[in-house]
C-alpha cells in the first residue's frame, strides 16, 4: 500500500497545494531517583513532519517522525536503541455525501477519560518511548463509514499485527532486569496477517443532558500483550541459573472484545465512562478479563481572573476471570484498582499556559504516582513543557512499577512549531 | 400650535419602539445570511501595546434560533488544525466539541459557563455566540434615541453569564450595533466593544471588525473578518462531527 499512496501524494503535490507542518523538539529528562546501573538522564532530538492535502472530497495525509537519542549518538556500548525514523501515517480518505472510505496507515483515538484511555487500543504503543507518555504506532487499515444525522457506523479492518521494538537496558524505562533481553518479533496465535475487524457505532443525543456515546466490537488480536521467557527457570531467584541471559517475547492472542466510551454533560460537569470486556479465544496464558473506568470532570470558569480550574477524579478497575492464568501483575496492568485525583489550571492567557497535576493511588498494591506538568507557548512559535513525576512502587508485589523501581524525574521539552 | 403638537405626539407614539423591539429589529437586520464562510484574524494587544496575532477559518449555518458553527485554527502553528464545533441552543446548553489534531481526539466541552476567555483574548465564548433577543431581558418602555443612536439596556437571562448588564448603542437608521458596554458580576464596567466595517452582500449585512477593550486590565482584542461569503449552500450535514477530523 505504501507503494501506491506515496506516489499518489507526490503526484498530488505537483499539481495541488499541500500544507506542510510539524515540530522540532529537544527533550531532556533527568532521573533524580533511578537504578544505579541505568542512565541518569536522557536527551532526545525529535522531528515530526506532516503533509496534508484536502479538497471537498479527497484527503491525503502523511506524517513522518524521527528521533535521535544522545546515548545512541555518543556511546558505543551504552546505547539506548532509541534512534529511529518512522512513518506514522500515510492514508487516503474519500468523503461521499453520507459515507466515507479510508485506506492506509493511520492513528485513531478512542476514549473519554483524562489520565488513561483503556479502550484506546487500536494503535500499539512504541515501547522505545518514554513510558509515561503516549506514543502510538501507525496501523495499516481500511475502513468504511456511514454517517447518520448525528452518528457514525464504521467497519474497520486492521490488516496485520506489527512487531514492537523496545529500548535497550541502560534506558531507564526498559523495566526488565539487565539479564533479560527482548525479542521484538511478535508471537501471534494465528498468522500475523490475520485481520482484526472492528465494528463501531457512535453518536450524540439531542436531549437536555447531552450524551456522546461509542460502542465498539472487535474480533481479532487484542491490544493487551503478554510476555513469555525462553528460559523461565532463569527468572526464579531459587534457581541455580537465576540471572543467566533470558529472552522475552511479546505474545498476541485473539479476542472477541466489547468496548464503550461515553461522556454525559451535566451543566459544567462531564461524567465519563470507559469499559471493555474481552472474551479470549483459548489462549493458554490469558483468560477473559474486563476493565472499567469512571470519571468526573468539573470546570470552574474564571476561577482566578480569566483562569479556569478543572477538577478531575477517575477510578479504574481491572479484573481477570480465570484464576489459573496470568493476573494483572503478570500482564503489567498498572490501573487495576486505582483512583486518580487531579487538577487542571488553564490560565487562558495569550500563551495558552496550563498546569496539570494529580495523584494516582493504587489500593491493591499500595503504589502512588504523583505528577505535575506545565505547558506554555513563547515567542509565538515555541512551546515549553516541564513535568515532574514521582513513583512510589509496591514493596509487596512485583508490579510494573516495582520492576521500574522507585522513580523520580524532571523533564523539559522545548519545541519549535512550523 | 396645540393641535400640531398633539398630532406630532400621536405620530411619535405610533412609531415609538420599545427596547425589545429595537433589539429585535437589530437582530433581524443581521439575519438572513443563511450560511457564511470567512477568515478571522484576532489581534491581541496587551497593556504595554505588544501584539499577538491568531488566525482562524470559520463556517456558520444560520438556524431559526440555533446557529451551528465550525472554527478551525490556522495560527499559532502549535494549534494549527484544532477545530471547535458548536451547536447553539436557546432552551438548553450549547453542544460543543473540540478536536485536538496532535491526539486525533474529539473532546466534548461542558458549555454551561460561557464566560471563559476565548483563546486568551478579551472575548468570551458568549461574546462570540450569535445574538438572540431571547437570551436577554429588556427594560420596559420606549427606547430613546440620542444623536441618532438608541441606547438599549439588557440583562442576560442565563445565570451563568459573565455579565449583569449590557448597554447597546444601536444606529437609529440602520439598526446596526455600534457599541456595547459589558458590566461584570460586580456591576462594574468591564469591557467595551466597538463594531465597524459592516459589509453588505445584497440584502445581507455582516460585521467586519469588532474591537473589544477591557477597561479593567487595559488589554484589547481586535477581531477582523475577511474573505466573507454568504449563502454558499452549506447544509446542516456540513456541521456533522465527522468534519472535525477532516
pLDDT tens string A29-50: 999 998 889 999 999 999 999 9
Q: How confident is the model at residue A12 (pLDDT cuts 50, 70, 90)?
A: low
CATH class of B18-244: mainly beta
Q: Return residues 61-80 of A near B (CB < 8 Å).
A: none
A235-260 confidence digits (pLDDT tens): 988 999 999 999 999 999 999 999 99
What whole-number distance in Å separates Cα of residue A249 and Cα of residue A229?
A: 6
Q: Containing H/E element for A400? A: helix A400-404
Contact between chains at A418 and B246 (C-beta distance less than 8 A)? no
pLDDT of residue A282: 87
Candidates A206, A108, A109; CA nearest to A151 is: A206
**Which residue is it, cell 503516549?**
A134
Give the residue extent of every domain in chain B: 18-244
Q: Do A140 and A177 touch, CB atoms closer than 8 A?
A: no
Name the minimum distance, in Å, from the CA of B166 to any CA of chain A: 19
A415 chain-B contacts, CB cut-off 8 A: 78
Name the pLDDT band for B158 (thresholds 50, 70, 90): confident
Per cent of chain A over pLDDT 70 is: 96
* ipTM surpasses cut 0.95: no
Alpha carbon distance A338, A318 (integer Å): 9
Domains and CATH numbers, chain A: 2-417 (2.40.160.10)
State the average pLDDT for chain A.
94
Count of H-run helices and E-run strands, chain B: 3, 16
Tell me, rounded to whole angstroms, the distance of Cα A214 from its chain centroid.
19
Can you list the positions of beta strands (E) in B131-198?
136-138, 145-146, 149-156, 165-171, 177-183, 189-196
Residues of A (165-204) whose Cβ lies below 8 Å from B: 204
**pLDDT by residue (tens digit) across A150-196?**
999 999 999 999 999 999 999 999 988 899 999 999 999 999 999 99
Pick among A274, A306, A345 to test the B interface (most B CBs inside 10 A): A306
What confidence category does residue B151 fall into, taking pLDDT thresholds of 50, 70 and 90? very high
Task: Report whether B35 contacts B98 (CB < 8 A).
Answer: no
Nearest to B78 among A212, A349, A383 (CB): A383
Q: How far apart are CA A64 and CA A6, in angstroms?
A: 12
Say if strands A246-252 and A180-188 run parallel, antiparallel, or are unpaired: parallel
- The runs of H, that is alpha helices, within chain B are 2-15, 19-29, 125-128
Nearest CA in chain B to A106: B104
Amino acid at each position: 500500500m505504501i507503494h501506491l499512496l506515496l506516489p499518489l501524494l507526490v503526484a498530488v503535490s505537483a499539481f495541488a497545494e499541500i500544507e506542510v507542518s510539524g515540530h522540532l523538539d529537544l527533550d531532556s529528562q533527568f532521573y533524580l531517583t533511578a537504578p544505579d546501573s541505568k542512565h541518569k538522564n536522557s536527551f532526545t532530538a525529535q522531528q515530526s513532519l506532516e503533509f496534508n492535502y484536502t479538497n471537498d472530497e479527497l484527503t491525503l495525509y502523511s506524517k513522518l517522525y524521527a528521533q535521535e537519542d544522545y546515548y545512541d549518538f555518543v556511546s558505543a556500548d551504552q546505547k539506548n536503541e532509541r534512534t529511529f525514523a518512522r512513518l506514522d501515517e500515510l492514508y487516503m480518505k474519500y468523503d461521499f455525501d453520507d459515507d466515507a472510505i479510508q485506506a492506509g496507515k493511520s492513528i485513531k483515538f478512542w476514549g473519554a477519560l483524562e489520565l488513561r484511555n483503556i479502550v484506546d487500543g487500536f494503535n500499539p504503543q512504541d515501547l522505545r518511548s518514554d513510558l509515561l507518555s503516549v506514543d502510538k504506532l501507525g496501523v495499516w487499515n481500511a475502513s468504511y463509514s456511514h454517517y447518520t444525522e448525528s452518528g457514525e457506523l464504521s467497519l474497520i479492518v486492521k490488516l496485520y499485527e506489527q512487531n514492537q521494538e523496545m529500548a535497550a537496558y541502560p534506558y531507564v524505562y526498559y523495566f526488565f532486569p539487565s539479564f533479560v533481553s527482548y525479542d521484538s518479533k511478535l508471537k501471534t496465535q494465528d498468522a500475523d496477517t490475520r485481520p482484526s475487524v472492528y465494528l463501531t457505532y457512535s453518536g450524540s443525543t439531542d436531549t437536555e443532558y447531552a450524551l456522546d456515546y461509542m460502542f465498539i466490537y472487535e474480533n481479532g488480536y487484542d491490544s493487551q500483550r503478554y510476555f513469555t521467557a525462553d528460559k523461565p527457570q532463569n527468572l526464579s531467584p531459587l534457581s541455580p541459573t537465576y540471572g543467566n541471559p533470558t529472552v522475552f517475547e511479546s505474545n498476541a492472542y485473539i479476542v472477541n472484545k466489547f468496548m464503550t466510551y461515553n461522556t454525559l454533560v451535566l451543566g459544567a460537569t462531564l461524567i465519563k465512562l470507559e469499559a471493555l470486556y474481552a472474551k479470549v479465544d483459548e489462549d493458554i496464558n490469558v483468560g477473559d478479563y474486563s476493565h472499567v473506568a469512571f470519571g468526573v470532570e468539573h470546570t470552574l470558569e474564571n476561577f482566578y481572573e480569566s483562569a479556569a480550574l478543572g477538577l478531575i477524579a477517575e477510578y479504574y478497575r481491572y479484573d481477570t476471570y480465570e484464576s489459573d492464568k496470568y493476573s494483572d501483575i503478570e500482564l503489567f496492568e498498572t490501573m487495576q484498582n486505582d483512583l486518580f485525583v487531579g487538577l487542571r489550571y488553564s490560565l487562558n492567557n495569550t500563551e495558552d499556559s496550563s498546569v496539570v497535576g494529580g495523584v494516582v493511588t493504587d489500593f491493591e498494591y499500595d503504589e502512588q504516582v504523583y505528577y505535575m506538568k506545565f505547558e506554555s507557548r513563547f515567542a509565538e512559535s515555541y512551546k515549553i513543557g516541564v513535568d515532574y513525576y514521582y513513583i512510589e512502587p509496591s514493596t509487596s508485589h512485583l508490579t510494573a512499577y516495582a520492576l521500574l523501581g522507585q522513580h523520580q524525574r524532571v523533564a523539559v521539552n522545548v519545541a519549535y512549531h512550523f | 400650535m396645540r393641535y400640531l403638537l398633539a398630532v406630532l405626539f400621536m405620530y411619535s407614539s405610533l412609531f415609538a419602539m420599545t427596547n425589545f423591539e429595537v433589539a429585535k429589529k437589530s437582530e433581524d437586520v443581521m439575519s438572513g445570511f443563511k450560511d457564511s464562510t470567512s477568515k478571522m484574524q484576532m489581534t491581541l494587544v496587551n497593556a504595554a501595546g505588544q501584539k499577538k496575532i491568531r488566525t482562524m477559518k470559520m463556517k456558520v449555518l444560520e438556524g431559526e434560533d440555533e446557529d451551528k458553527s465550525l472554527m478551525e485554527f490556522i495560527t499559532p502553528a502549535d494549534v494549527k488544525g484544532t477545530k471547535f464545533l458548536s451547536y447553539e441552543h436557546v432552551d438548553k446548553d450549547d453542544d460543543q466539541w473540540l478536536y485536538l489534531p496532535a491526539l486525533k481526539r474529539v473532546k466534548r466541552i461542558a458549555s454551561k459557563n460561557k464566560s471563559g476567555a476565548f483563546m486568551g483574548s478579551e472575548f468570551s465564548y458568549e461574546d462570540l455566540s450569535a445574538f438572540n433577543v431571547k437570551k436577554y431581558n429588556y427594560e420596559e418602555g420606549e427606547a430613546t434615541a440620542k444623536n441618532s443612536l438608541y441606547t438599549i439596556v439588557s440583562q442576560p437571562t442565563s445565570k451563568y453569564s459573565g455579565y449583569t448588564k449590557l448597554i447597546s448603542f444601536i444606529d437609529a437608521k440602520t439598526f446596526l450595533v455600534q457599541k456595547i458596554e459589558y458590566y461584570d458580576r460586580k456591576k462594574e464596567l468591564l469591557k467595551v466593544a466597538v463594531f465597524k466595517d459592516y459589509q453588505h452582500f445584497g440584502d445581507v449585512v455582516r460585521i467586519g471588525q469588532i474591537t473589544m477593550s477591557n477597561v479593567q486590565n487595559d488589554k484589547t482584542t481586535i477581531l477582523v473578518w475577511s474573505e466573507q461569503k454568504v449563502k454558499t449552500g452549506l447544509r446542516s450535514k456540513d456541521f456533522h462531527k465527522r468534519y472535525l477530523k477532516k
